[in-house]
């Protein structure tokens, strides 16, 4: 596999809807991207479904993500309205 350098763009299938999307590799000085060593990030963006995911190009950690229709609410952190909340520990 060839090495991918910074400021590289690839056409890929969107992981959310399957349409053509772009993956960009670049160096960023944006504050949230500084979590990545050297500011090296990759970004996947899809114009069809408005999917966006920015992750660290070094360790793969997600820095920011958005996809319409996917809630940022994590279902396991809150009980469903039909479930009783857990009893407090003594």
Phi then psi dihedrals of residue 44, to 5 deg: -110, 130
pLDDT at 88: 64
CA dihedral (29, 35, 41, 45) positive or negative? negative
In order along its 90 residues, the chain shows pLDDT tens digits of: 344 556 789 999 999 999 999 999 998 888 877 778 888 999 999 999 999 999 998 899 998 888 887 765 444 444 445 555 566 665
Q: Which DSSP category does 2 fall into?
A: P
Give SS3 for 38: helix
Return the residue matching tokens 């857990």: 86
- Specify the pTM: 0.67
């Amino acid at each position: 596999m060839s090495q991918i350098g910074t400021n590289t763009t690839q056409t890929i299938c969107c992981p959310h809807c399957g349409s053509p999307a772009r993956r960009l590799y670049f160096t960023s000085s944006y504050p949230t991207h500084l979590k990545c060593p050297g500011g090296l990030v990759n970004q996947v963006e899809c114009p069809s479904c408005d999917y966006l995911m920015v992750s660290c190009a070094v360790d793969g950690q997600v820095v920011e993500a958005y996809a319409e229709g996917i809630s940022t609410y994590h279902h396991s952190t809150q009980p469903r309205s039909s479930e009783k909340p857990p009893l407090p520990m003594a």
